[in-house]
Amino acid sequence: MTDSAAEARIDHALATRARLDGDRQAFEHLVRRHQGMVRAQLRKLLRDDDAAADDLAQETFVLAWRKLDQFRGEARFSTWLHRIAYTCFLQSRRSPARHAAAEAMETLEAPAQRIDLQLDIERGMRRLSAAEQAVLLHCAQLGLSHEEAAYVLAMPLGTVKTHALRGKAKLKTWLAGWRDPAALEETP
């Protein structure tokens, strides 16, 4: 059995205990096991606004506790949590205060000069469409499969694959300048 399958079995057992017996300790184990990735997901979605991301992460776990009856085990528990977190993120964008904060983050000035390839990929990610960013975040960074990303983002599988391909193609185009170091110096 792979590590990932073993982890999923442990999560499932803990979730069952929490759901059937109202076992808070089991749920606490689940929070400790997954808080790191859920918070990282939300920090990325909220452009490193750590405080807002942690607020949403708390909301995510409270919702997960309330909705445990709806967890049937058709997806991994971690994937189910990512889906709740993404839904919380979308809902937060609908509220004016948080939405304004998110917009402000999007219009931040990029550094005037290219420092290195890593910085460029970060800038490139910000230039992608919201859907492409979300797909690449979940697939390439959080390590979800296309199927899992489709479940989290509530998108058809084909759409997820298309966004992943397009996003990577755009990044490749934007980073093509790295072929010629001289061109890099000229481009701000």
Partner 1 sequence: MNAPDDEMIETLLRREFEGPVPDDGFSERVMRRLPPRRRRWPLWSGALLGAVACALCLADAPWLQAGWRDWRAGELSPPLLGTWLLMLAVAWLAAAWGLADRAER
Quick one: which of 125, 150, 127, 121 has its CA closest to 137? 125
Touching partner 1, residues 2-41 (CB under 8 A): 22, 24, 27-28, 31-32, 35-37, 39-40
Residue of 6, 121, 157, 183 interacting with partner 1 (CB under 8 A): 121
> Per CB under 8 A, does 127 bind partner 1?
no
- Alpha carbon of residue 42 to chain centroid: 6
> For partner 1, which is the closer residue by CB, 13 or 62?
62
> For partner 1, which is the closer residue by CB, 24 or 99?
24
Two structure tokens written together for 169: 């193609």
- Three-class secondary structure assignment of 62-121: HHHHHCHHHCCCCCCHHHHHHHHHHHHHHHHHHCHHHHHHHHHHHCCCCCCCCCCHHHHH
Contacting residues for 178 by C-beta, under 8 A, at least 6 apart: 117, 120, 184
> For partner 1, which is the closer residue by CB, 119 or 154?
119
> Per CB under 8 A, does 67 bind partner 1?
yes
DSSP 48: T
Residue of 2, 3, 66, 108 interacting with partner 1 (CB under 8 A): 66
Q: How many CB atoms lie within 10 A of CB 55?
A: 16
Residue of 8, 11, 44, 153 interacting with partner 1 (CB under 8 A): 44
> Per CB under 8 A, does 46 bind partner 1?
no
Binding site for partner 1 (CB under 8 A): 22, 24, 27-28, 31-32, 35-37, 39-40, 43-44, 54, 57-58, 61-62, 65-69, 117-118, 121-122, 125, 136, 140-142, 168, 171-172, 175-176, 178-179, 181
